[in-house]
Structure 1
Amino acid sequence: MSWLSGAEAIVKSLELHGVDTIFGLPGGQLDHLFDAVYKTDGKIRLIHSRHEQGSAYMAYGYARSTGKVGSYSVVPGPGVLNTTAALCTAYACNSPVLCITGQIPSHGIGSGRGYLHEIPDQLGIMKKLTKWASRIEQPDQAPKLVQEAFRQLQNGRPRPVELEMAMDVMALEQEVELLKPEKISVPDPDLDLIEEASKILGKAETPLIVVGGGAQEASEEVMQLAELVQAPVTFFRNGKGVLDDRHYLSQSFPQGHRLWRDADVVLAIGTRLKYQQMYWGLDSELTILRIDI
């Protein structure tokens, strides 16, 4: 147990979960949080933006380029609302982005008294824009809620989450027990379905592999499978780069459209195939195998 302020409890919990960068824009409700980041002596670097939207998009870009959680912190109310375009982009693109925002004094939340940066039901708004959102109401709640935030970010389909804490709670000191990250368990695959799919793919005469954003961390496996069955690989939007464009089996999106017409088996990895099914067409002779969360 350590005697920590609410802000220190958040920052130390983030540090335990491997956060080394926070993008942000300072403001009155975040003074204690930014002080706590400063006290890490560079273990967590703070990258300043000129607009809240920039902070959120930088966190999104960080998540996309590194595969790690991208974190940003902005003031409540209009500040956090300025980041909603980036949050919605991260949601649509299945990117792990953590939004840490302040709040007005805890006794004024929901009062409608016109506090600086007050908006009605900020937490309710954020719950509708993210995979999960919560308010830390006491410093000793911070470790558990940060742990839960990372569980949501790393379990199942990765999407943005939000944590908020009132400015007075950030300053409040309590005895806090810090928690180590939970080990995320990967669900066991259905071996019978895998065997059935492998038989179908093995018998295919003109197989085609289509990859989406969900396959970004499986580039090596996709390449090995494509080479094994000699199947061309095409992509849609977020699937670009899963297979190196210079690889002899890599096909552009327009070429993928042409290959789709002649394919007898399509293996879709990390994609909903929404565009292909809507615009490229389906027929009774096409078998689709789909691997996705």
Structure 2
Amino acid sequence: MTSYAMGKKQRRIARTAMLYVLLGLFSLSTLFPLLWMISTSLKSGDLIFEIPPRFWPDGFHWENYSRAVTEINFFVLFKNTAVITFFHLLSDVFVSAFVAYGFARFHFPGKNIWFLLVLSTIMLPGEVTMIPVFIGFSEIGWVNSILPLVVPGFFGGAPVFIFLLRQFFLSIPKELEESATIDGANSFTIFWRIFLPLSVPALITIAIFSFQGSWNDLLGPLIYLNDEDKFTLTLGLSMFKGIMKVEWGPLMAGSILALLPVLIVFFLAQRHFVEGVKLSGIKG
């Protein structure tokens, strides 16, 4: 090997090493708030606001976690959040897929106009419809129940998810659909037996987005839920914020516990998530 080739190889190795170092630093900067939250959840109250700040706690104060579980009835709030998230996830995935299938494969008058109208609702701020929607749910007696948080999703799905799934459905070869039609399959059978199994990466992608959005939602439960036994985790954690003082240790501990399901779901479905974003965002 010539000296020129050896020098070129060394420069390539140096560039690769520098790239990994930069990526590591960026990753650390992204993870630092999470690491600081974990550190705060294990600190005593006096150490949290110490100047200069100390990252490593003086001792592992696990009582913050026991207080987070007992003082806000954590498991009841966890169950309420899980129920709302389950129905929200169900509507976002299957209803959005059903609507997207219609826009991708059916031909009807004004299809493109209707699709543009659906997409235009993305630009409509939620604050614009918040008051009239609340008045409507109040008139039918749904306030202080989970119905306003789960039922609307079953009547149309989410526009962003409809768009992503439509892009994915357009990439599926029409020959599969034609072959199934020749074999006697109707439109719903084609959707259920062909399109959904082939769309698992895209479905997992929107399921992760839906799960994260519903699990971390604060505004919806804050508007519609009044009784503490119906609160979600995001509302329950706000109980640590008093008028004069905030219990930062238990608050951070409860936030860590509430964050764990989101992290677990994401890491378990990470491979499908990346693939789904790639396919639904490029093809079509």
Normalised-by-shorter TM-score class: under 0.3
Higher strand share: 1
Higher helix share: 2
TM-score under structure 2 length normalisation: 0.24
Higher RCO (CA-CA < 8 Å; seq separation 6+): 2
Larger radius of gyration: 2
